[in-house]
Structure 1
Amino acid sequence: MQPPNKLGEAPISSLFFQYYIPALTSILSVTLHQVINGIILGQQVGKEGLAAVGLYGSVIIVFIALTLPVMIGGGILIGRNIGAGDYSEAQKIFNFATTLAILFGCMVALSTPFIVKPLAGFLAGANHEVLVRNTSDYMFWQFVGLPFFFLRMFWGNFVSNDGAPKVSRNASVLAVACNIVLDVLLIIVFPFGVAGASVATALSILISTAFIFLYIKKQKGHLSFGNFKFTLQLKTWKELANFGLPSFASEISFSSGLLIINHSIVSYGALAVSAFGLVNYISFIFIRLLTSAMIASLPIISFNIGAKLPGRVQEVLKFALTFTFVVGLLITAAGFAFPDLLVVLFSGEETAEFKKVAGGATSLYFLLFLAAGGNYILGAYFQSIGKAAISVLINVLKGIVLIAFFLMILPGYFNMGLNGIWLSRSLAEILTLLLIGCYTLFHKEKYFSKNAILSRQE
């Protein structure tokens, strides 16, 4: 076992980047794989193959939303218990989460032969025979591999909270490399089509999971398989659910918000819908710079709460807020200064009309980055100190409530049309940060004081 990590001692700035860079590398490597995978599948199978993967995306979002409370909540509790020196309690949480991942994953995997075709028909439409077949083929192997997918999610987050963020990063990079090689092998060399792409992804996740398994088995951290036992008993399960609830709310609200924006754009025609798809895709890439900061902050905050070092928690919060604001400001500036360049870079040669619509959308939509980082960091902070209600409120306000509000008044009442739709998410992010910031600063003692940080630890 390694000596105690330096989460409670190292300078906050250097510690932050020790977690930020692996998190960003891991996320960007997955993004790169998605691009390459899309190119290979699109070229070899066609739009029906890509559509099948896209339809499965709506299913996996549901699974991720259901498991996020355990992954995030468990990670926070593990970090806090390690910080407090209670390694046996951290191990119990690890045992519980691992058991849950295997049980839930196996239940879905065993039911795969009976549910994939009806589900594919529901998603693709029973009359679209080719798309139903492709979607069914892709979902089959993804469902079979779900136990490993869940374990990869849980273990990767847990070892990061146990002071080893590079292990999760290396596992992600390994998975991406394997997936690209297997895509070439199972789609191009052996033309297994969509099923081959699905098998390639499932095997890559299995290899990535095995990599983390071997790390934990070597007992280099505080979690181990030597003390492992299958159990669904956890006395702190309510606390785990409380810590994880904001992540569930975030995923559901975010998905719902995008759906209602997309629905509002439909009446403006195919060109506007295509522009939204492109701008949303570009924003997903840039938003990873901010979500990586949130991921980097959580283990440091959790450990120092457990170690009863509230001053360091306050330092992390201030540093992360400042960092994400500066990054967000730079991204927003790029959206205003070079919207046409971004559109051409990610869409290639398109009509002048499309570039005009997408360029205008980029300038307005990118205003969200002024506040998105602050909302992510504050949400993670409140989540970590046990203020689940305020964290859920942030996610629900910015994800769906304020978006719906602005969509009701900007396009029609203020005659802003399509520009009002582009602004809806940006204004939702900004207003959420202003409302929550003002409220919590007014009640500073309740949310930001040292007593507030340690209130759940006494």
Structure 2
Amino acid sequence: MRYKKEVSAEERHLMMTTHPVGGLILKMSLPTISTMLVNSLYNMVDTYFVSKISISASAAVGIVFPLFAIIQALSMMFALGGGSFIARKLGEGDVDTANRTLSTSFILSIICGSVIGIFSIIFLKPLMIFLGATPTSLEYASQYAFWVIIATPFFSASFVLNNCIRQEGSANLAMFGMMIGTVINLILDPILIFTFNLGIIGAAVATSISQIVSCMILFVAVLRGKSVTKIKISLFTPSKEILGEIFRIGAPAFFRQGLHSISAIMLNNAASVYGDIALGSMSIVNKLMGVIFTVLMGFGHGFQPVCGYNYGAKKYSRIIKAFSFSMKVCIAAILLLGTAGYIFAPQIVSLFRSDNPEIIRIGTAIMRANFIVLPLVAFTTVSNMMFQSCGQPVQAAVIALSRNGICLIPMVLLLPRLFQLQGVIYAQPAADILTFLITVPMSVHILKQFLNTPDDTVFSVASKIGSKSKI
């Protein structure tokens, strides 16, 4: 399939800063939502296949999750930090710095992904035990982790490419790369798990192959000039400005995911007291929750480039309109999906393990506890993306660290001690409520600042792009 370059940098800037924000956000978000929904479908199908192997295999996937949350944390730092800077620089018309930022983020992600992968393989089994593996799930977890870790550099690079390309406004190209990888995963999963009788190793190998293919598709597309920005080794520029912006904006995402990983490890260890059934239930529900978060995150990803471009162009009134539109659509969608999930939770969980009443009971409780606070999560997520896109690292860090650390870790430590398994189930929803209460005043404050600041009506980007786009 040939993918055509959509528009020039100047045309992209004009579109992002003048076209109606609602249409822009939908144009940016719908391809991402579609792709992520397919990816969520894969995750559910993968979980379904793995659950048919054994309850311990389902538990193993949940045990390995915190490790990949750490890998994703580093990837997100380069992806979100670099992507935010790219969007703002394109908004200012500085294409050269945008190119250098993409090249630097891409290369650094490969280096970091390789280092993490090597150390994880060396200390694999002790790491699985630390992550909460039980004696019955340890072998499954080790097998699954080993084969997925092999593709860590490609996963990290693909994550960076996908996010940075989307931030520049090339949502369709980002969608194409992710979609191909997901389709390959869906095809290979049943073939490797059942036809070749590889079990959980087959699921891991399918995931690794899909990540490698997705990365290569995006990389080749960028090399051939199908995106606005470029990647060249000569553009690798670990300068103070670029690294400073990557870490300044990406650090909140890194700490958020890092703390999320720590919290997941703590939850796994708390749940492991109740055996593989509790761990397996959490693993199944986490994948189901991914469908809901797909809509939320996909729409937020459409909001981010619109927000970043207009912040760079000093079009503050458009940021307010974009935020309002995104919030209304996200909350409406979450209410619809969340209500359906809450009502039909037992039936949904039983699709995975209809032969085990305990998994259905525990899984239903986990689903309902998390679904009831989803509208609050929608508000905090869109707010966090606004702060990231506008270069506001402190506020972004506070929100990110609250949901996945500052509020969650105390809940994980306290609630299971007081309420046993019920405490494990309600730790995340309790943290979501506290995070919402922290987010509201910060969001109101910055929106008031935008409201009281006039737009820059004389900003012109044409000459800047013409002078800075040559490499």
TM superposition score normalised by structure 1: 0.82
Q: Could you tell me how far 1:334 is from its partner in structure 2? A: 3.2
Distance 1:281 1:299 in 2: 27
Q: Could you tell me how far 1:222 is from its partner in structure 2? A: 2.1
Indicate conservation of the 8 Å contact 1:161/1:299, yes or no: yes
CA 1:354–1:172 in 2, change beyond 3 Å: closer, same or farther? closer
CA 1:228–1:11 in 2, change beyond 3 Å: closer, same or farther? farther
Superposed CA deviations along residues 98-157 of structure 1, whole A, max 9, x for unmatched, are 221233344456x47xx62532344158x9999666655544443433222222111111
Indicate conservation of the 8 Å contact 1:290/1:324, yes or no: yes
Indicate conservation of the 8 Å contact 2:147/2:205, yes or no: yes
Choose which of 7, 32, 50 in structure 2 pairs with 1:23: 32
5 Å matches for 1:425-440? 425-440=428-443
How many residues align? The count is: 447
Q: Percent identity?
A: 21
Distance 2:59 2:285 in 1: 19
State the match for 2:373 in structure 1. 368
CA 1:449–1:287 in 2, change beyond 3 Å: closer, same or farther? farther
Indicate conservation of the 8 Å contact 2:270/2:416, yes or no: no
State the match for 2:188 in structure 1. 182
Q: Tell me if 1:84 matches 2:92.
A: yes
5 Å matches for 1:42-441? 53-107=61-115, 111=118, 116=121, 118-124=123-129, 135=141, 137-192=143-198, 194-225=200-231, 228-261=234-267, 276-335=282-341, 337-345=343-351, 347-348=353-354, 350-351=356-357, 358-404=363-409, 422-441=425-444
Amino acid at match of 2:24: L
Q: Could you tell me how far 1:354 is from its partner in structure 2? A: 6.2
Q: Over aligned residue pairs, what C-alpha RMSD do you find?
A: 3.8
Q: Which region of structure 1 is more displaced relative to structure 2, 48-57 or 28-37? A: 48-57
Distance 2:239 2:284 in 1: 46
CA 1:58–1:405 in 2, change beyond 3 Å: closer, same or farther? closer
CA 1:342–1:178 in 2, change beyond 3 Å: closer, same or farther? closer
Distance 1:369 1:306 in 2: 31
SS at match of 1:235: helix
CA 1:347–1:142 in 2, change beyond 3 Å: closer, same or farther? closer
Q: Could you list the runs of 5+ residues in structure 1 that have no partner in the other structure? A: none
Amino acid at match of 2:401: V
Indicate conservation of the 8 Å contact 1:385/1:452, yes or no: no
Amino acid at match of 1:78: I
Q: Which region of structure 1 is more displaced relative to structure 2, 279-288 or 290-299? A: 279-288
Q: Could you tell me how far 1:185 is from its partner in structure 2? A: 4.8
CA 1:52–1:338 in 2, change beyond 3 Å: closer, same or farther? closer
Amino acid at match of 1:434: L
CA 1:164–1:410 in 2, change beyond 3 Å: closer, same or farther? same
CA 1:449–1:68 in 2, change beyond 3 Å: closer, same or farther? farther
Indicate conservation of the 8 Å contact 1:84/1:308, yes or no: no
Amino acid at match of 1:372: V
CA 1:335–1:251 in 2, change beyond 3 Å: closer, same or farther? same
Q: Could you tell me how far 1:269 is from its partner in structure 2? A: 7.9
CA 1:98–1:338 in 2, change beyond 3 Å: closer, same or farther? closer
Q: Which region of structure 1 is more displaced relative to structure 2, 445-454 or 54-63? A: 445-454
Q: Could you tell me how far 1:381 is from its partner in structure 2? A: 0.9
Q: Which region of structure 1 is more displaced relative to structure 2, 9-18 or 368-377? A: 9-18
Q: Could you list the runs of 5+ residues in structure 2 that have no partner in the other structure? A: 458-471
Superposed CA deviations along residues 397-434 of structure 1, whole A, max 9, x for unmatched, are 23233345556777888xx7766664443343233223
Amino acid at match of 2:434: L
Q: Could you tell me how far 1:22 is from its partner in structure 2? A: 1.6
Q: Which region of structure 1 is more displaced relative to structure 2, 426-435 or 376-385? A: 426-435
SS at match of 2:241: coil
Distance 1:119 1:412 in 2: 30
